[in-house]
Structures are given as C-alpha cells and as structure tokens.
Chain A
Amino acid sequence: KQEVTQIPAALSVPEGENLVLNCSFTDSAIYNLQWFRQDPGKGLTSLLLIQSSQREQTSGRLNASLDKSSGRSTLYIAASQPGDSATYLCAVTQDSGAGSYQLTFGKGTKLSVIP
C-alpha cells in the first residue's frame, strides 16, 4: 500500500526566504506526482505536475523535482511572500487496475510566511 509522507508538518519563515518542502513515497511505481496548494476551508489548487519520466518542473517561483527511484520529491519556493501561506500537499498517481488511477496524498506541510 502506497504511503506518502511530508516533512515538515509545519514551517514558518520570514518573507523573502527561499524554502524547500519534502515529500517521500514508499512505492516507486507511480504514474506521476502532483503538488497542490490548499487555503483554509478551500479546495485544492494544482501547482505542478511531474510525469514519472521527468526530473523536474518549474512554474514561476516554484520548482518541483522528482527522484522516482528513491521515492522523493521536493518543492522549492523562491523569494517567499505572505501570499504563499497555505497548506501544500503532495500526491502520487498510481494505476489501480481496470484503467483506473487514484491519488494518494500526504498529510501536507502548513507554511506560514511572516511579513
């Protein structure tokens, strides 16, 4: 059974700092990995999608890497801003059989960026 772990569970940084969020998974047979952002009481916003054959993806100040063989992914946020404060979730997609895929999520990292 796939297990996804995110460390740290919470992180507080001053504005402007660069930071790294970590995600690890136990089964390397993944289809892809997706990073999401969740604001309090809201749904999930997709940030980056990395296919299993890719090593990294970039969008603006965000960079996500994937090392499938070691079961690790990182999300790098450059020059953090107070608006980046949210919970960041990592999810891996796996083939569940019969053409179905499902996401397995980590518990998330709650980020607070202090002005």
Chain B
Amino acid sequence: KAGVTQTPRYLIKTRGQQVTLSCSPISGHRSVSWYQQTPGQGLQFLFEYFSETQRNKGNFPGRFSGRQFSNSRSEMNVSTLELGDSALYLCASSFNAGKGYTFGSGTRLTVV
C-alpha cells in the first residue's frame, strides 16, 4: 500500500516568487491536511481539504492557499515568497480522524 507522496522533496526559490507543492494521499483517503514545520514555531496547521472543499484553515496569511482535486490529490501554493516561509511543509492524509493521520516525507522549501 503506497504511502503519502509529496513532491518535490527540495525546492530553492527567490524572495517574491511563488511555489506549488504537491501531495498524493493514500488511496481511499479523502482528507488531506497541510502543516508547516519550522525550528522556532514547530508544526503549525495550514489547512485541511476533504472532497475538494477546504474545511478548515489555520492562522496563515492569504499568500498561502491550496486546492484538492477529484482524485484527492492536493496542492498548496505560496505566493510572494518571504524568507520566513523557509520550512519543511508536511502533508497528512486520513480516512477519518478516528483512524489517525499518515504523513508524507515533506517538501523542504528554502527561500533565498
């Protein structure tokens, strides 16, 4: 059974650019959540998608957005990148909350 797949693994971008990260959940999982991990703030919730609808959003600026496709794959986009956006971005999929979450390996974004 394939796990959660995140692409790309590493990204280097320049301030002001935009970036798109991709997440393919475990087959059959319709919920996809995104988290940002930084050394200072730890893991923080970005947003959750279920059946192509954003159900919940964390306390991040509007530069952070996402979407989910009919096959449950999800993308998140960050526009007008800032140095502080450098982080490990993790995607998690779930069949339902009661069965817990499975995380991908993450995308390491470096903004220079």
Residues of A within 8 A of B (CB): 31-32, 34, 36, 41-46, 49, 51, 89, 91, 93, 95-108
Q: Is the Cβ of B103 less than 8 Å from the Cβ of A99?
A: no
Which residues in window 1-54 of B have CB below 8 A to A? 4, 6, 33, 35, 42-43, 45, 48, 50
Which B residues form the contact surface with A (CB < 8 A)?
4, 6, 33, 35, 42-43, 45, 48, 50, 55-56, 58, 88, 90, 92, 94, 97-106, 108
B98 near A96 (CB under 8 angstroms)? no
Are A41 and B43 in contact, CB atoms less than 8 angstroms apart? Answer: no
Tell me if A's interface is mostly helix, strand, loop or mixed. strand
Given A41-B108, A105-B43, are A100 and B48 neighbors across the interface (CB < 8 Å)?
A: yes
Which residue of the partner chain A has the closest CB to B49? A100
Residue of B nearest to A105 (CB): B43
Interchain nearest-CB distance for A25 vs B (Å): 14
Assembly CA distance A101 to B56 (angstroms): 8
Contact assessment for A32 and B97 in the assembled complex, using a CB-CB cutoff below 8 Å:
yes
